[in-house]
Amino acid sequence: MSGGGVARASGVVFAGALLQAVIVSSLVVGGGSPDLLLLVVISLGLLRGSIPGAVAGFAGGLVVDLLTLDTLGVTSLVLTLAGFWAGRYGETTARGRRLPPLLAAAVLTILAGVFALVLHYMLGYELDARQALLTALPPAVVANVLLALPVHALVRWAVRERELEPATEVEVVV
């Protein structure tokens, strides 16, 4: 990625983290709220690859944890793995397909939700797993899937770089 691309991606991640911490997390619909930062990290992973995705997740998570005075590193850990997974998906199976953002948003919202729950449990937080998994997670998945394509388009426009090229066909000669 070029220097300008890195700067633009950093700006997108910072804006996503800021909006998530200040606004989006309070927009509760049907018991759950969308996760804008997760969608931004997924999009960057799909567009730029696994390492930029993981770095974006780590940095965005750090900003959110700083803004909300939460335990440092928890959101970073969840989003690092989400960004990496989205990047690997973009580098392999998703190449040349149209709807990876939707699938990645649905799968990663669930995985990130469950992983975050386990992480908080391991850190000794009092949790209501039923509320987190059955009440809050399904509407969050729906909201993230609905927002996935607009956010992906916005991130692609903001980063202004071409998507990962589709894998070239390889002919095996024996």
Partner 1 sequence: MSSRSSGALKRRLAVGVLVLLSLVLVTLSFGSGEDGSLSRVQSAGASALRPFAVGAERVAQPFRDAYGWVDGLVGARSEAERLRAEVRELRQRAIQSEFALQENEYLRRLLRYLDGPRFPDDFDPVAAEVIGRPAGAFAQAIVVSAGSRDGVVAQDPVVTADGLVGIVTRVSRGTARVQLLTDQEAAVSAVDLRTGAEGIVLHARGTRETLVLDRVRKQDVVRLGDEVVTAGWSTAGLTSLYPKGIPIGKVTSVGQTDTDLFQQVQVDPYVDFGGLDAVLVLVPKERTP
Residue 30's CB: how many other CB atoms inside 10 A? 12
Q: Is 69 exposed, middle or buried (0-12, 13-18, 19+ CB in 10 A)?
A: exposed
Say how far apart CA 68 and CA 37 lie, in whole Å: 14
Determine the distance from the C-alpha atom of residue 12 to the mean position of all C-alpha atoms in its chain, rounded to a whole number.
12
Q: How far is the CB of 168 from partner 1 (least distance, A)?
A: 14
Residue 105 in the binding site for partner 1 (CB under 8 A): no
Nearer to partner 1, 30 or 166 (CB): 30
Q: At what angle do helices 3-22 and 50-67 cross, to 10 degrees?
A: 40
Site for partner 1 in 120-149 (CB under 8 A): 120, 123, 125-128, 130-132, 135-137, 140
The contact pattern for partner 1, residues 6-45, with x = CB under 8 A and - = no contact, is ------------xxxxxxxxxxxx-xxx-x-x--------
Q: Binding residues for partner 1, per CB under 8 A? A: 18-29, 31-33, 35, 37, 50-51, 54-55, 57-58, 61-77, 80-81, 84, 88, 113, 116-117, 120, 123, 125-128, 130-132, 135-137, 140
